Amino acid sequence: MSEAGRRGLPTRRDALRILALGGAAGVAWRLGLAGPGPRHGVRRARLLMGTHVELQVIGDDREAASAAAEATLAHMAELEALLSR
């Protein structure tokens, strides 16, 4: 176990898991596996981790998509704070 893992901080493996999950969700959506119905897109952008981060969340409910985008950016900001110590 790495020192970061022993301290309870996210590791590189954790970051790769997050990326893999996002990629899998994107593929499922692209293949039409996300389900039928109207889609609503929400875009959010922030400067995080030293780069411009832009999210586009698409879902059945615009409010839920907006909440998901904000929660994702908030979590990224938390990770940035932890990893920048």
Report how far apart, in Å, the C-alpha atoms of 35 and of each of 26, 31, 39, 65 are: 13, 10, 10, 15
Among residues 51, 48, 30, 47, the alpha carbon closest in space to that of 39 is found at 30
pLDDT digits (tens, 9 = 90+) for 76-85: 888 888 888 7
Decide if 83 contacts 18 (C-beta within 8 A).
no
pLDDT digits (tens, 9 = 90+) for 13-64: 777 777 766 776 776 666 565 566 677 889 999 988 888 888 888 888 888 8
20 CB burial (10 A radius; 0-12, 13-18, 19+): exposed
